[in-house]
Structure 1
Amino acid sequence: MKKKVAVLLAMAMAAGVLSGCGGSGGKETTAAATEAADAKETTAAEKETAKETEKADEGEKKQALSVSLDAEPDSLDLAKVSDMYSTTVVSQMIEGLTAIRVDENGAETVEPGMAESWESSEDQMTWTFHLRDAKWEDGVDVKAGDFEYAIKRILNPETASPISGNILFIKNAEEAVAGSVGIDEVGVKALDDKTLEIQLAYPAPYFLSSCAGSSMLPMRQDIVEANGDSYGTEADKIVGNGPFSLKEWVHNSKISYVKNPSYWNADAVKLEELTMKIINEETARIGEFENGGIDVVPVSTAEWVEKLDQNKDYVKKVVSLPRTEYLFFNQEVELFSNEKVRQAFSIALNREEIASEVYQGMQEPAYGWIPNSMQVDGVNFREMAGEPIQELIEENPDPKALLIEGLKELGMSEDPSQVTVQLMSRNTSQDIAEYFQYTFNTVLGVNVEIDPVEWPVFQERNRGLDYEMGFKSYGADFDDPYSMMQLWMTGVKTVPTGWSNEEYDRLMTEASQSLDKELRAKDYKEAEALVLRTATICPYAYSTDISYSKNYVKNIMEPVFSSTLYKYSYIE
C-alpha cells in the first residue's frame, strides 16, 4: 500500500512539473505567436476530444467487465460443481431449463431458459418442458436428451457426484444413487428432441427454481465422453449454451469469457467480454479494484468497508446470504468418533467473539444450521426452531470437562495437552484458522496444527475423508430447509464426515415428502437439532455479502439462492 501511495505521489508531482511548462517563462509573446499557439492548442484540444469520442464509441461497441473470484474453481465438470466458485463460473456459460431473474428491487422470479414453456400435472408430480430452438456454442442443437443425460449422470452412483443430493426429489433418484434401482428407472425422459418429461417422487414447491441450478444443467454426452476424466478441466474441454463462451482458463490466474453469438437471447446480452481474475488475498483484490483492474470487489473486513464507503464513485451492496460457516469433523478419526469430544469443540467456541472480533461485525453469530434468512412454508425457520447450539452450551457449562469425559470413554489419555488435532484450512483463511487454534488450546487445552491447502486440494481431501477437522461455508440453492439439510443424509457426498443416522434420514424423508406444513416444520426442527446436538457439524457464523462496484457498472444480478449473474450487466 505504501509503495502504491509513493507511486501516485510521484505521478502527481510529474504532472505538476509538466503543467508548469505551459507558461511563457517570463518572455514577451507576439500577437502572431499567440494566435498560432492558440490555434495549435485548439487543434490539440479537438484531437483530444476526437480521441475521447472514439474511446466512448468503442466502449459502447465493446463492453467489458472485470470481476474477482476468490479462489480457483474446484471443477467445471458439471457433475462435480459443488463449490460456489465453480458454480459461479459455469453459471455464466451454461443455462438450464429455467433461469432466475432479479429486478431492481431485488425481487427474484423464475423465467424461461432453454425451455420456452412448461406445464405440470394436477398433482404437480409430472412436469413437461418444451425446449426452444437453441444451440450450443459450437452450433449443435440443444436437445432434451442433453438434460436427461446430465441428470442421470449426476444420479449414477458410478459418477459419485457430490451434488446428487440436490435433486433427490426426482422419482427414483434416491434409489438410483443408493444403487437399488437402475439409472434408467429415474423419472427423467426425453420424449423427443424438444420435449423433456420429469417425474417427481413428491411435490417440490422449489422445483422450478431448482431447474435453474447447477444440479440440472445440460451436458453434451459426446463432449463428456470425448474428454473422459479431463472433461471440464480446461476451457477447450467443455462446451456451453449460455450467454458467454469460456475463452480462456489460466489456472489460479483468470477466467475469460466472450459473448456467445449462438445464445438464443444474445440480443439482450450487452457485455462483449467478461473476465474473472482469481485473487485470493483481499488486500490484493481491493488494490486491483482501486487501480481499475477490476470493476467489482467483495469486502469482508470493516477497515476496508470504512475506507471504500468514503468514495462516492463506488456503489455498495449488502446482501444477507442463506449461507452458514461451520466446522466439521471426520468421525472415522478415533478422537472425533466420540460425541462428547465433538460437543466440547462446538461449545468451546465463543460465537459472539467470532462475529465481533474475527469478522469485526461483518457476520452474525450462528447457533443453528439453517440461516436466519430462510423460511419453511412461509415461516421464519430460526424463529420457529430456536437455537439448538445455545441450548447445548447452557447444558454443558464446562467444555473442557466434557472433552475429558469423551477422552475417558475412548480409553485415551485424560490429559487434553496430549491431544493434537490437524485443522485443514484454506490457505487464504489464516485469521479464522488461528482463532480456532488459539481457542481450542486455551479453552480445551488441546494442540491444534493448522494444515493450509489450496481450495481444490481442500475439496479433494474432504471428499476422500483425508482430514481430521476442517471448516468452510455452505449456501442454500432454494428457500426450503431441505436445501441445507440434505447434506447430512446417508450417502450424500457433498461434505463427507463419516456420519450416518437412521433417525435423521427418516425425519428428512418424511419432511421432504409431506404436504403437511406442521409436520414438515416439526421434522426439520428435530433433524436440525439432531445433527447439531451430536455436533456432527459446528456452525459459528451466518454470512453477509458486502461488495462494491464502480458507478458505471449496471445490472449485476445477485440471486440470494444462486450464483451472481452477469448476462444482463453492462457498462454505462
Structure 2
Amino acid sequence: MKKRLLALTGVALTSMVMMAACGRNSSSGKSKQVLTVATNAEMATLSTTKYSDTTSLEALQNSFEGLYRFNTKNKPVLAGASNVSVSQDQKTYTFDLRKTAKWSNGDPVTATDYVYAWQKMVDPATASPNSQRFQPIKNGTQIADGKLPVKDLGIKAIGTYKLQVTLESPISYFSELMTGAPFYPQNKKIVEKYGNDYGTSAAKTVYNGPFVVKDWSGTNLKWAYVRNKNYWDKKDIKLQKVNVQVVKDPSTAGKLYQTDKLDYAMLTTDYIKQYEHTDGYHSKTIPLIGYMSFNVRRKATANVHFRKAIALAFNKNSLVKDILHVGSPLNGIVPKEFAFNSKTSNDYRQDAGNMLTYNLKDARKEWTEAKKELGSNKINIQLLTSDTTDSKQIGEYLQSQLETNLPGLSVSLQSIPLKSRLAATTAHNYDIVYGTWQPDYADPVNFISDGGQYHINDDYNNSNFRNLLDKAATTYATDPVRRWSTLIEAEKQLLQKDAFTAPVYQGGMSYLLKSKVKGLQISPYGTVLFYRNASIK
C-alpha cells in the first residue's frame, strides 16, 4: 500500500457530527428536496487518486460512479456498466458500459476513462494512498513497486464502451471491491487540463455520479451536492441539493436537532448518553476501527519492544465504557462481525482470537527492554491526532494511560486539522498517530494489508508477512479454509510479533434521524452517507 492514509478521523471514529436537515416547506405545501448536512472535518480532495479521508470519500461516492454501486439493501449492483460476463477461470471480467453515461460536462464516459484512471492509480509517480487496492488486479503489485510499466495492468479498452479486467487470481469480493472510489473512472481531458490542480476545487473536477459538487474552493468549509443533470439515471434521484458545512463543535449538532433545524445528526461520545432516550435515536456496531500507527523511521518507534509496550499499556475496556459509550475493545486489526468464512461461516475475529490485549505486566516487561535497547530511562514522543472532539478525547486518554503505565515515558499530544494531520503523516512527520479507518469491502485482507496502517507498503517489509499475503491471494485463492488460516498467520506476524500497528477499539455509530427523511443510506463498511436514494417526505 502506498502511503495508505485513510485514517478516517475525518469522520471522527465511533461517532461524528454529520447532520442532514430538510429544507422548509414550499408555498405549495410540498417539501423541497434539500438536505443540510454537517461534517466535523474539512474535505481534502476531489481526486479519486489522492483521497485518504472520509469527508472526501463521502463526496466522491456521491458524485462519482464506478462499474458497481450499492443498492438500497447495500448489495453491489451494476452501475456504470450494464452487463458483465466472467471467464470460466473467473479471472477475466468483460463489461459493457452504459452508452448513456456522461460526465457532468457532457462528455461520454468510455472504457478509456477507466483505463486512464486505474493506470494512474498504480503509477508509482502518483504515490496514491490507495494503490494497494489494486493488488488483486493483474500486475497491480509489480507496477506499484516500479517493476512493470503501467500499461501491463490488467485492464484494457476493447471498444469504446467495452472494458476488460483481468485478476491475478479469482476473488469472491470482486463486485464489492469495484464499488470503491479508487476504481472510479477519470476524464483524461479534464485531468490533463488542470494537471496538479485537478480535484483541488469543485470547479476543477468533473463528475459522472448522481450529484456534482458545487462551491468548494479547496479550503472553504461549506459546499453542496447538486443533482447531476447529465447522470444516466437522474430520474431516480429525488434530492435536488445537499448543503454541507463543517461543524466541529458537537454541542451545536444536538441544539440544531432539538430545534428541528436538522433531520439527522451523528452523535459524538459526549452526547450519546444525553440523547439515547430521544425519539429517533439509533445505535449500531460498525466495522470502523480506531488505532495507533507508528513511524518506524524514527529511533524510538522503530524499536519493536517500544511498539509492543505502547500496544499493551492502555485499558481498552475503560476507554469504551467511560469515554466512547459505544463500540467495543479491539485486540486485532480486523473487527468482529465483519468478515465470515465462506466455507465455515465463522467470524474471522472469533477464529483469529485476541492478539494485542491490555496487559500491564507484559507492557512493562517490553518497556524495560525498550529502554535498555534505546539507552535511556526517559523517552519523549509525540502523539498526533486530528482536532475533532472525539479524536482529542481519545488522544488525551491514551496520553494519560501511557504516561501512567510506562514510567519514564512523556507523551506530547498534538491535535491539528485533519488535512494538516494527513499531510504530516504522509511526510513521516510524526512519532505515533491516532486515527480511525473503515473498510472498502468485506474481507479480512482489506484490514490486514491496509486498515489505515500508515506506510505499510513503504516501511513494513517483513518477508513472512508478504509471503503469507501472496499465498492467500494466489495459492489459496480458491481454498477458503487455507486462505483463512493464512490470513490469521499474517495478522499475527503484523501485530503479535511486530506490533506495526496498535489496535484500539471497534467503533459504534449513534445518530438521531427524523421520520421525514426516507432512504438515507449508511455504508455497510462504516459511516459514509449515500444520498442517491434519499428523499424528504
The TM-score, its normalising length taken from structure 1, stands at: 0.84
Are residue 454 (structure 1) and residue 417 (structure 2) matched? yes
Alignment deviations for residues 455-477 of structure 1 (CA, whole Å, 9 cap, x no partner): 01111111111110111112111
Answer whether contact 2:157 2:163 (CA < 8 A) is retained: yes
Which of residues 124, 132, 137 is equivalent to 2:90?
A: 124
Looking at structure 1, the residues matched to 362 and 349 of structure 2 have their Cα atoms a distance apart, in angstroms, of: 26
Task: Map 1:65-464 to 2 at 5 A.
Answer: 65-103=35-73, 108-132=74-98, 133-249=100-216, 251-301=219-269, 304-312=271-279, 315-360=280-325, 362-375=326-339, 376-377=341-342, 378-390=345-357, 397-410=361-374, 412-413=375-376, 415=377, 418-428=378-388, 429-445=391-407, 446-464=409-427
Answer whether contact 2:333 2:451 (CA < 8 A) is retained: no
Answer whether contact 1:161 1:493 (CA < 8 A) is retained: no
Structure 1 stretch 505-514 or stretch 195-204: which is displaced more? Answer: 505-514
Structure 1 residue 74: deviation in Å?
Answer: 2.4
Which of residues 490, 497, 501 is equivalent to 1:537?
A: 501
Alignment deviations for residues 367-410 of structure 1 (CA, whole Å, 9 cap, x no partner): 111000222433200111111113xx56x724234212112123
Answer whether contact 2:124 2:145 (CA < 8 A) is retained: yes
Q: Residue 75 of structure 2 aligns to a residue in which SS?
A: strand
Looking at structure 1, the residues matched to 26 and 255 of structure 2 have their Cα atoms a distance apart, in angstroms, of: 29
Q: Residue 240 of structure 2 aligns to a residue in which SS?
A: strand
Answer whether contact 2:38 2:244 (CA < 8 A) is retained: yes
Instruction: Describe the shift of the 1:255–1:547 C-alpha distance in structure 2 as closer, same or farther (beyond 3 A).
Output: same
Which of residues 465, 469, 473 is equivalent to 1:512?
A: 473
Answer whether contact 2:495 2:501 (CA < 8 A) is retained: yes
Structure 1 residue 496: deviation in Å?
Answer: 7.1
Structure 1 residue 494: deviation in Å?
Answer: 5.8
Looking at structure 2, the residues matched to 488 and 476 of structure 1 have their Cα atoms a distance apart, in angstroms, of: 7
Alignment deviations for residues 270-296 of structure 1 (CA, whole Å, 9 cap, x no partner): 101111221122212223333444332
Instruction: Describe the shift of the 1:151–1:319 C-alpha distance in structure 2 as closer, same or farther (beyond 3 A).
Output: farther
Answer whether contact 2:72 2:533 (CA < 8 A) is retained: no
Structure 1 residue 253: deviation in Å?
Answer: 1.8
Are residue 552 (structure 1) and residue 516 (structure 2) matched? yes
Structure 1 residue 564: deviation in Å?
Answer: 2.1
Q: Residue 487 of structure 1 aligns to a residue in which SS?
A: coil
Amino acid across the alignment from 2:247:
I
Structure 1 residue 307: deviation in Å?
Answer: 3.5
Looking at structure 1, the residues matched to 365 and 91 of structure 2 have their Cα atoms a distance apart, in angstroms, of: 52
Structure 1 residue 363: deviation in Å?
Answer: 1.8
Instruction: Describe the shift of the 1:499–1:267 C-alpha distance in structure 2 as closer, same or farther (beyond 3 A).
Output: same
Alignment deviations for residues 427-464 of structure 1 (CA, whole Å, 9 cap, x no partner): 12221111111111111021111112110111111111
Which ranges in structure 1 are unaligned for 5 or more consecutive residues?
A: 1-50
Instruction: Describe the shift of the 1:53–1:130 C-alpha distance in structure 2 as closer, same or farther (beyond 3 A).
Output: closer
Looking at structure 2, the residues matched to 359 and 343 of structure 1 have their Cα atoms a distance apart, in angstroms, of: 24
Instruction: Describe the shift of the 1:167–1:501 C-alpha distance in structure 2 as closer, same or farther (beyond 3 A).
Output: same
Answer whether contact 1:321 1:543 (CA < 8 A) is retained: yes
Q: Residue 147 of structure 2 aligns to a residue in which SS?
A: coil
Alignment deviations for residues 334-365 of structure 1 (CA, whole Å, 9 cap, x no partner): 011111111111111111111111213x1201
Looking at structure 1, the residues matched to 417 and 148 of structure 2 have their Cα atoms a distance apart, in angstroms, of: 37
Structure 1 residue 189: deviation in Å?
Answer: 0.4
Task: Map 1:54-65 to 2 at 5 A.
Answer: 54-57=27-30, 59=31, 62-65=32-35
Instruction: Describe the shift of the 1:181–1:493 C-alpha distance in structure 2 as closer, same or farther (beyond 3 A).
Output: farther
Instruction: Describe the shift of the 1:254–1:161 C-alpha distance in structure 2 as closer, same or farther (beyond 3 A).
Output: same
Match of 1:16 in 2: none
Looking at structure 1, the residues matched to 400 and 517 of structure 2 have their Cα atoms a distance apart, in angstroms, of: 42
Structure 1 residue 482: deviation in Å?
Answer: 1.1
Task: Map 1:5-24 to 2 at 5 A.
Answer: none
Structure 1 stretch 170-179 or stretch 428-437: which is displaced more? Answer: 428-437
Looking at structure 2, the residues matched to 255 and 204 of structure 1 have their Cα atoms a distance apart, in angstroms, of: 38
Structure 1 residue 321: deviation in Å?
Answer: 1.4
Q: Residue 530 of structure 2 aligns to a residue in which SS?
A: coil
Structure 1 residue 167: deviation in Å?
Answer: 1.9
Looking at structure 1, the residues matched to 363 and 461 of structure 2 have their Cα atoms a distance apart, in angstroms, of: 25
Amino acid across the alignment from 2:524:
V
Looking at structure 2, the residues matched to 511 and 87 of structure 1 have their Cα atoms a distance apart, in angstroms, of: 28
Match of 2:12 in 1: none
Amino acid across the alignment from 1:438:
S
Which of residues 424, 428, 434 is equivalent to 1:471?
A: 434
Instruction: Describe the shift of the 1:270–1:123 C-alpha distance in structure 2 as closer, same or farther (beyond 3 A).
Output: same
Amino acid across the alignment from 1:470:
V
Higher relative contact order by CA 8 Å / sep ≥ 6: 1 or 2? 2
Structure 1 residue 218: deviation in Å?
Answer: 0.8
Which ranges in structure 2 are unaligned for 5 or more consecutive residues?
A: 1-23
Answer whether contact 1:69 1:279 (CA < 8 A) is retained: yes
Match of 1:39 in 2: none
Q: Residue 289 of structure 1 aligns to a residue in which SS?
A: helix
Structure 1 residue 52: deviation in Å?
Answer: 7.3
The TM-score, its normalising length taken from structure 2, stands at: 0.89
Instruction: Describe the shift of the 1:82–1:495 C-alpha distance in structure 2 as closer, same or farther (beyond 3 A).
Output: farther
Answer whether contact 1:77 1:232 (CA < 8 A) is retained: yes
Q: Residue 224 of structure 1 aligns to a residue in which SS?
A: helix
Looking at structure 2, the residues matched to 92 and 495 of structure 1 have their Cα atoms a distance apart, in angstroms, of: 29
Looking at structure 2, the residues matched to 243 and 346 of structure 1 have their Cα atoms a distance apart, in angstroms, of: 43
Answer whether contact 1:297 1:547 (CA < 8 A) is retained: yes
Amino acid across the alignment from 1:63:
Q
Structure 1 stretch 121-130 or stretch 253-262: which is displaced more? Answer: 253-262
Larger Rg: 1
Amino acid across the alignment from 1:240:
Y
Answer whether contact 2:41 2:418 (CA < 8 A) is retained: yes
Match of 1:525 in 2: 488
Looking at structure 2, the residues matched to 543 and 309 of structure 1 have their Cα atoms a distance apart, in angstroms, of: 17
Instruction: Describe the shift of the 1:135–1:494 C-alpha distance in structure 2 as closer, same or farther (beyond 3 A).
Output: farther
Structure 1 residue 546: deviation in Å?
Answer: 1.4
